[in-house]
Amino acid sequence: MAPRSDVRFIDIRNYVRGLQEKGEFTETIYRVGVRDIVEAERSQVDKFVELTSLFRCCEKSVENRPKMIDVAKELKRIERSLS
């Protein structure tokens, strides 16, 4: 199957990182699809935003990636905070 000419691919890591660096990531998350959420749900979205910092796992450079044990600990911490 030939690639579609009308499809544009982006590097999700760079896109998310750019939004985070400009301080626009949280705003974008709320603007896209989560407009009508209650405060409890907003907390969950905030935890998702925290989780995106784990995108470091996708870094090309091994030195810039966190150890999997650290990622697992962070996921557990986020899970506990949602309980």
Cβ–Cβ under 8 Å, residues 48 and 28: no
Are 66 and 56 contacting, i.e. CB atoms less than 8 angstroms apart?
yes
Residue-number span of the structural domain to which 47 is assigned: 12-82
Note whether residue 50 is domain-resident: yes
Global pTM?
A: 0.44
pLDDT digits (tens, 9 = 90+) for 15-41: 777 877 888 877 776 666 555 566 666
Amino acid at 40: A
Query: Model confidence over 57-77: pLDDT tens digits?
Result: 667 788 887 888 887 887 788
Q: How many domains does the chain have?
A: 1
Q: Cα–Cα distance between 40 and 14 in angstroms, integer?
A: 29
- Tell whether 4 is covered by a domain: no
Q: Is residue 6 part of a domain?
A: no
Element (H, E) at 82: helix 68-82
